[in-house]
Chain A
Amino acid sequence: MRTLALFFLLTLSLTVAARAVETPEWFAPTSAWQFNSGLEFPGATGSFAIVSEAGRAAGRLDYDFTAGGRYVGALLSREIDPAFAELRLRMKATTPCKLIVRLIDSHGEVFQYARPCPGTTGWTDYRIDLSQSTITYADGKNGVADKIIDFPLRGLLLGVEVRKDSQSKGEALFSNIELVQ
């Protein structure tokens, strides 16, 4: 088990050693993404699955806000190290929405970033620059909120946010995650 962990860490280190390296293993079939229905705003339903999109691994987030809710997402709870300056990914959604990215740092602080996503069949590239200020909050009562990202990260959430009473229903695809040092 320890050997496996070392190998895993080494692999991850290698993937971020260059300036920008795609990390497709995040959408490997065995990736432990967990669907999050955004319970603070009840009513949303959905699911998350790993799929192949044009020969490339991707995460598909199905969402249904017809009974309420504001966001849904998929959480990958995993250590992400070493530090990086920028996270990149591609997304497309079948209805207009917002991409939300949450980074959970080693002290339990959550950094949330939002970007608009047009509801079209084409991919949009996103660049989350960690030096830009954003909303942060403590994840649970033991978390801190000092607005400093402390690596290694504990996890990453990719999600879809909609405006209140949007009633929208559709699917979003995420792919090509890159970490840029």
Chain B
Amino acid sequence: MFTLLPRHFFSLLILLSLAPVGASSLRADSPESPPLNYRFGVATHFCHKTPWMKTWDAEKYIPMIADLGVGWIRDEITWQDTELQRGQYRVSDNTRKWIGLARAHGLKVIVCFNNTNPNYPDRWDPDAYAKAAAWLAVELDGKIDAIEILNEPFGGYAVANNDGRPHDWTGRDSDGSASPWLARYLKLLNTSADAIKAANPRMTVIGLGSCTPQNYRLLDMGVSRNVDAITDHPYSFRSPPELVPHPDNETYSKRVGFSVADADGTFASYVRMCLDYSKQHHGPGQLWITESGYTTYREGRAGKEPLYSGFSEQAQASYIPRRLLEGLALGLPVDIVYDFLDDSGRAGVGKPGDPFDPEQNFGIVREGGIPKPAYFAVQNLARATVGFTPGNDISFKVFPFSDRTENKPRDWDGMKILPALARIMAYPFTDAQGRPVLAVWSAERINDLSVRSADIEFAVDPDRFTVTVLDLLTGVSFSPAVKTSGGRIMLEHFAVPGHPVLITLHPASHPSS
């Protein structure tokens, strides 16, 4: 049943990644297909709202997404495409096609109802937008699962709605007051959520979707009870995935005025604090991550340094599962990877097919359907964690031997970029069969160092359990060396790589005592 790790795993992975997959794979809703994991998803661009999105062929890629094992896609429907003429609504043939394909493959759909409508003097008229969104919620009832109110309103929406004043990610103007666009977006959000729920109470409504401090200011102002979840896009930009660029320190405090994470800027603290803050302000009880990811662009383009580091494909394959697994442990209901396919036709920033453009290279699949290593890593994770719930009742301890502290962090907006946590992350779960599982990985920057070691101890009777390990990058399972000592299980010098592994305790069939 179990095999040893191939000696030349990455050679194997490269060979695998040269072969297109998916089009001939089993449909996810067929009895032979593995179940999809409805905690994870990928962002897609099947809406074809701009010409560069035409490379997103729904018939080709939706089967691949289902084969990936994730349960959600997030795509867009534009308001203008829905209401070509004032008061006359429609769903385009292309939209019906990709939504229908997604449903046929068992995928749930988040529709980001996005962009403006030039039929109205206020191109973001909240009442008109809400009316169109409510119509969509009825028209697509049973075909889509959630409507998100705009994509990243801190972008074009904020520019157009801030009275011509400059604005930034903190959400406050130079006098310390909240930027005007926030109140306008809040009206759009609340009006839309109320209208959607009135038309179709079953439709999930999600929104906010801005930089975290801006989301906090929106929560301060009072989010409608009809908004089911906060959305956020907590990219770690240049840091490993256990971090968000919001460390609680003096510089941050001066710029923002409050904290949204701990001093390390951990993703875990960001999630907990956001949910606590929302609860204190009677806001939504859920946080949905509707984008985060790692671009594999290459350095070399002249001009301003991009916000994102260009990550190796190996790092992408490690970081995405790390982020998704930590989100799962923290109870996030939905976590969407940006994005499924390289946006090679995207000409907004660089040239089409530009390997030096960050925005074109977030995909876990290259143009033409060639998977990057991250595709297989996400597939392993999605399939292995179906039915996982956070926590179990087994005590454990992890004793590291080494440190992977980064000693030369780069600059980030006036602060040192957040260095890798360097800790060994360990999150307990219970799997679908009720077995205790411990997910572990080293929260280090992917580098050329050999794998770290740690002693991992479980306070369980060794006679009552056997242990297996699943490597989520390689997909290889094996039985680790187990030392039993003092009535406990000890995995001495256990290899803890920079990508997650799952340690499962299997109840022994015939305990000796």
- Please name 5 pairs of A and B residues whose Cβ atoms are closer than 8 Å in the assembled complex, sorted by A: A118-B403, A120-B266, A121-B264, A125-B397, A127-B397
A residues neighboring B (CB under 8 Å)? 19-20, 88, 94, 96, 115-122, 124-127, 180-181
Could you tell me the distance in whole angstroms from the C-beta of B22 to the nearest C-beta in chain A? 39
Q: Which residue of B lies closest to A117 (CB)?
A: B403
- Number of A-B residue pairs, CB cutoff 8 Å, is 50
Q: Which residue of B lies closest to A163 (CB)?
A: B407
Give the contact-size bracket for chain B. Answer: 20 to 34
* Complex Cα spacing A19 to B486, Å: 6
* Known A118-B421, A118-B423: A126·B399 in contact at CB below 8 Å: yes
* Known A20-B486, A96-B407: A127·B422 in contact at CB below 8 Å: no
* Complex Cα spacing A4 to B363, Å: 69
Q: A115 near B401 (CB under 8 angstroms)? A: yes
> Which residues in A have their C-beta under 8 angstroms from that of B421?
118, 120, 122
Q: A121 near B262 (CB under 8 angstroms)? A: yes
1/0 per residue, CB under 8 A from A, across B248-292: the answer is 000000000000001110100100000000000000000000000
Indicate whether B398 reaches chain A with its CB closer than 8 angstroms. Answer: yes
Inter-chain pairs besides A96-B403, A124-B400, A127-B397, 4 sampled, C-beta below 8 Å: A115-B401, A118-B422, A122-B264, A125-B397
Indicate whether B405 reaches chain A with its CB closer than 8 angstroms. Answer: yes
* Complex Cα spacing A21 to B475, Å: 38
> Which residues in B have their C-beta under 8 angstroms from that of A116?
400, 402-403, 405
Indicate whether B487 reaches chain A with its CB closer than 8 angstroms. Answer: yes
Q: B401 near A118 (CB under 8 angstroms)? A: no
* Complex Cα spacing A122 to B326, Å: 15
Interface of B, helix, strand, loop or mixed by DSSP: loop
1/0 per residue, CB under 8 A from A, across B220-262: the answer is 0000000000000000000000000000000000000000001
Q: B487 near A118 (CB under 8 angstroms)? A: no
B residues neighboring A (CB under 8 Å)? 262-264, 266, 269, 397-405, 407, 421-423, 455, 486-488
Q: Which residue of A lies closest to B401 (CB)?
A: A115
Q: A180 near B486 (CB under 8 angstroms)? A: yes
* Complex Cα spacing A181 to B487, Å: 12
* Known A19-B486, A121-B266, A180-B486: A127·B455 in contact at CB below 8 Å: yes
> Which residues in A have their C-beta under 8 angstroms from that of B269?
121
> Which residues in B have their C-beta under 8 angstroms from that of A124?
400, 423
Q: Which residue of A lies closest to B422 (CB)?
A: A118
A-B pairs, top 5 by smallest CB distance, nearest first, are: A116-B403, A118-B422, A127-B399, A19-B486, A96-B405
> Which residues in A have their C-beta under 8 angstroms from that of B455?
127
Q: Which residue of B lies closest to A123 (CB)?
A: B423
> Which residues in B have their C-beta under 8 angstroms from that of A96?
403, 405, 407, 422
* Complex Cα spacing A118 to B269, Å: 18
* Known A20-B486, A125-B397, A180-B486: A120·B403 in contact at CB below 8 Å: no
